[in-house]
Structures are given as C-alpha cells and as structure tokens.
A and B are shown apart, each in its own frame.
Chain A
Amino acid sequence: MTAALTAAEPFLRWDWVEDHTDDIRSAFTEHLQLTAIAVAVGFGLALAMALVAIRWRWTYGPLAGACGVLYSVPSLALFGLLVPVLGLGLVTAEVALIGYTLLILLRNIVAGLDGVEPAVREAADGMGYEGWRRLLRIDLPLAAPTILAGLRIATVTTVGLVTVTALVGEGGFGDLINDGLGRNFSTPIVVGTVLSVALAVALDVVFVVLERLISPWLRAGGGGAGRG
C-alpha cells in the first residue's frame, strides 16, 4: 500500500524532461550567470586584496584569515545571516557566492605573484620596468598559471554552491532540485543534480585546457615559477 507511493514512480521520467526543456535551459543559463558573476566579482575583490597584501605584507594574515573565516561558515548559515539583512534574491545569493571565492582566489593570486623568481624580477627592474608596468607585463603573466588554477577551483566550487542558493530564490539547477524535493518528485532532482555536476566538470575541463595553453609558453620561457 505504502510502497505504491514511491515504487510506481520511476526514477527519471523522460516525458517530464521533454516537456520541460525550456525550464531546463533557463535553469542552465541562470546557473551559469550566477557562477560567472560570483567568480568575476570575486576575482576583482581578491585581486585588489592581493595587491594590498603584496605591498603591505602584514595585511596578508588578517585578510586571508578573514576570508578563511568566511569560507568556513556553512553556506546555509551564511544565507541565514544574510537574509534578514538583504532579503531573498540575487544580491544575497551573490554576496555569499562571492564570499566563498575570496579565500581561494586571494591565496592563489598572492602565491602566483610571490612565485615570480627574484632573478626575473631583478632582470625586469634592470630593463626599466617599474611598479605597475612590471606588475602588468611581468608578474601577472608569470603568475597566470597559479591564478588560473585558483579560478578553476573557485569556479567549480561556485557551481556546486549555486545549487544551494536556490533556497534564497536564485538557483539555476538548484531550483529543479528544490522543486523535486518539495514535491517528492525524483525526476527534477536527478536532472538538476546530473546537470550541475556536468556543468562543473565541463568548466573544469575548460580550465584544464586553458592551463595547458599557457604552460608551453612558460616552459619555453624557462620558468617553472608560479606553476600551481
């Protein structure tokens, strides 16, 4: 009798999938957008912090520590803290998502910039590169692989977190999962889960390819510095 509630229901109803391709497609777009915004803004903030940390060394500890605390706070709890202040919606979701990227990005940008070999720096100084110019044309390019590695992790991590942001109203594939959980309907759960994993893997691959594109240049350039 009770088994009838669940057993008759197939795990994945393809007819539902067919009927809802529009919803699935817009979930995909939303998921991608949420991720992109978080990583882009996160990178901007992390870069700013990194530059400060490079210039004034003592700030690295506190900055990284603060980001670390943010990172350790469970996402649901962070939403819980943000919702009373910012309400439900895009801003809340993004604030949390951005917060979670900061630690990784900050760390990797600093690590990358630090990894530039002193010999290279001296050479650059010798050639007349100064301050910003050196940063832009020498340090950052050399730091690129490490930074890219950080972006990769941040991106994949964010894709995973976006599934949870569905609870505050903006969730891409997470909305599908949530819908399924709320209705005791496994199909959207499966679809949402599989697709979010697929997206994470796809983005991971994109970054791997990018990393490969960069490294031959560096290897030829004679510096394993900053590879990470």
Chain B
Amino acid sequence: MTRPMRALAMVLATATLVAACGGDDDDDDTSTGDEGAAEAIDGPAVNIGAQDFGESAILAQIYQQALNGAGIDASVAEVGGFRDLLFAAFESGDVNLAPDYVASQLEFLNDGAGEATSDVDETLAMLEPLLAERDLAALKPSDAVDTNAFVVTQETADDLGLETLSDLAEKGQDLTLGGFQDCEENAFCIPGLKRVYELDLSGSFTPLDNAVVGDTLASGDIDVAVLTTTDGRIEDEGWVLLEDDQHMLAADNVFPVLTQELVDTYGDDLTGVLDEISGELSTDELTELNKRYDVDKDDAEDIAADWLDDKGISGA
C-alpha cells in the first residue's frame, strides 16, 4: 500500500481499535469484594435508583453497600432526574429499590391531592395502596425527616419582617424563588405554597442545582431559596428558615420503596438489612452526611462506607 494510504489506514484502524477496546470501565458500579461478609444469596439483581441530589446518592450507596455486605447483589443506577424519572425506571424495570420520602411520594402518586399529613403512619397507610397498584411495597420508614426548607437571608428577613411562610405569602409575592428543578411540580414546593398559602411564585422561579442554590441566595440573585431541612448550611450561614405555620409540609420520612418481587424473593434477608438502616437513621445523622457531601465534597460512596462502619452494619 502506498505511504499515505498506509497512514490513513493507520489512523482509521487505530480509531476503530480504540473504539472497540474497553467497555470494561465501570462508572457507578461499586461491586466490591465481600471481605468476610455473608455468603452470596441467589436472586434477581437489586438496582437501586438514585435521584439527582446528594442525599439520594448517599442513601442509595448505603443501601447498596449494606446489601452487598449481606450477600445480595446490588448496584446503584442514577436515574438522571427526580421522582418522575424514578417511577419511570420502576415501570421499565430498570430499578427495583429506591430511597424516597413518604409524604412527597404520596403526593406524587395522588397527583398533588394534598392528603399527606405530618403523621407518618397515617401518610404511609394512604401511600401503600397506591404502591400496591404498581406492584411496589414500602418498608418501615426511619425517623429521619427531610422536607423542603424555604430559606431567606437574615437581611431579607429583617427587611420584610419574615418569620413564617404566612409572612412570605403576605409580603413576599414579588420575591424571586430558586431551587431544584422538581420544585415546580413537587407538592411541597411551588404547588404546595399555592395550595396552602395561596402564594404563587412560579413566575419568578429559577431552577438551580442544589449545590449552587446556597451561593445564589448569598449573592442575592434569588431572594428565597428552597433547600432541605437536612442542609447543614442553613445554620452555618445564619440564614432564616421560614416556619411552616400552616403545616404545608408533611411527614417526609426517609423510607425504602421496592418491588413486591424483591420482598417475596428475598424476604427477611433483604428487608431486615433495610429495616436496620432505617432504624439507625435520624435527621441529625442525615444532616451530618449531607454536610460531608456539600461542604467537604466527599464522595457518596465514601460517606456511605464510613457511616455503615460507624453503625456496625457490615458493608461491602
């Protein structure tokens, strides 16, 4: 072959070779080896859906590592969005277990009917039939609660005299709101403010990544930030968490939702592990975990591993 042809062929061959090689890189699959963990249990692979925010990723990792440690094959799948994509993934079978929040999930499945209360057992009882329709089941919720937090800076609070969400409804219609994408549809975000406080901030809403909401609030680009009650920065920065005086927010306890199939196949081996985790989680714990993620920039994987270690739950 002539030289230039050879050169061309070389380029293309290299390109194809590089393209074909590999496929052995795992991004999120942290299937590590079991060191002295339980023997492997047979059954369908567990795919844990993680939503697009730190806390979800951390919880998913905790579930995954604990299950792997108990001998169940589990991996984390990033759903790439929020609850709507999570349930699409449940439907398509891409995911069969996920950490979620009781009240928010109820409101998602009942199309924002506003049925959730601040009593977790009551709310769960309403949720379960809706899950059963989808061949899903809920396990025991933990005491850790993570609801939305509507936060303003001290200056804004002082300027307008804001202490509660009712105050906001009265004096804050012109303020700008910033928060995660889902806020426009999340029953305890914009629709909730409309429903309970008759406050419509949808026109001035800016979707922002959770990580930058704080900075945006601090810089004054938004007046009201939607954070979560487990966000450690609120206290650190001296922001004002507006009180939910009319009880829009409800029992958003962390709990595992999973397919009935998983429950039936694995029974106690799986549910026992998850119940133990739920037992050990508290709101303060969650806040600590989030702080490591948001402020220290640690990876969800490491945070989860350390937490499981602390609690004496064998992870893998």
Q: Is the CB of B15 within 8 A of A36?
A: yes
Interface size on B, as a range, is 35 or more
Interface string of A38-75 (1 = CB under 8 A from B): 01100100000000000000000000000000000000
Interface string of A6-45 (1 = CB under 8 A from B): 1001000100100000000010011011001101100100
For the complex, count residues of A whose C-beta is within 8 A of B: 43
Q: Is the CB of A214 within 8 A of B12?
A: no
Given contacts A141-B2, A214-B7, contact A184 B27 (CB under 8 A): no
Given contacts A5-B218, A6-B215, contact A148 B18 (CB under 8 A): no
Q: Is the CB of B7 within 8 A of A2?
A: no
Confirm or deny: B219 has a beta carbon within 8 angstroms of a beta carbon on chain A: yes
Residue among B21, B52, B209, B219 making CB contact with A2, cutoff 8 Å: B219
Confirm or deny: A195 has a beta carbon within 8 angstroms of a beta carbon on chain B: no
Confirm or deny: A181 has a beta carbon within 8 angstroms of a beta carbon on chain B: yes
Residue of B nearest to A41 (CB): B19
Q: Is the CB of B25 within 8 A of A182?
A: no
Q: Is the CB of A148 within 8 A of B22?
A: no
Given contacts A2-B237, A36-B15, A183-B297, contact A141 B5 (CB under 8 A): yes
Nearest CB of A to B112, in Å: 25
Q: Is the CB of A185 within 8 A of B211?
A: yes
Residue among B10, B209, B238 making CB contact with A1, cutoff 8 Å: B238
Q: Is the CB of B237 within 8 A of A144?
A: no
Residues from chain A with a CB closer than 8 A to the CB of B5 are 136, 140-141, 144
Confirm or deny: A218 has a beta carbon within 8 angstroms of a beta carbon on chain B: yes
Interface string of B210-253 (1 = CB under 8 A from A): 11101100110000000000000100111000000000000000
Nearest CB of A to B285, in Å: 21
Q: Is the CB of A169 within 8 A of B16?
A: no
Interface string of B1-30 (1 = CB under 8 A from A): 011110110111011111101100111000
Q: What's the Cα separation between A185 and B14 when bound, in Å? A: 35
Q: Is the CB of B15 within 8 A of A1?
A: no
Q: Is the CB of A217 within 8 A of B8?
A: no
Confirm or deny: B44 has a beta carbon within 8 angstroms of a beta carbon on chain A: no
Majority SS of interface residues in chain B? helix
Nearest CB of B to A176, in Å: 11
Q: Is the CB of B218 within 8 A of A184?
A: no
Residue among A4, A32, A141, A151 making CB contact with B4, cutoff 8 Å: A141
Residues from chain B with a CB closer than 8 A to the CB of A1 are 218, 237-238
Residue of B nearest to A32 (CB): B18
Given contacts A5-B214, A39-B15, contact A29 B4 (CB under 8 A): no
Confirm or deny: B207 has a beta carbon within 8 angstroms of a beta carbon on chain A: no
Q: What's the Cα separation between A43 and B153 when bound, in Å? A: 56
Residue among B8, B14, B26 making CB contact with A144, cutoff 8 Å: B8
Confirm or deny: A210 has a beta carbon within 8 angstroms of a beta carbon on chain B: yes
Given contacts A36-B18, A185-B297, contact A148 B7 (CB under 8 A): yes
**Given A1-B238, A2-B218, A36-B15, 11 other A-B residues pairs in contact with their CB atoms under 8 A:** A5-B214, A5-B237, A26-B26, A33-B19, A36-B14, A36-B19, A136-B5, A144-B8, A148-B11, A151-B11, A182-B210
Chain A residues near B (Cβ < 8 Å): 1-2, 4-6, 9, 13, 16, 26, 29-30, 32-33, 36-37, 39-40, 43, 88, 136-137, 140-142, 144-145, 147-148, 151, 169, 175, 181-185, 187, 207, 210, 213-214, 217-218
Please give me the 9 A-B residue pairs with the lowest Cβ-Cβ distance, nearest first.
A144-B4, A2-B218, A184-B211, A26-B25, A36-B18, A36-B19, A37-B19, A40-B15, A36-B15
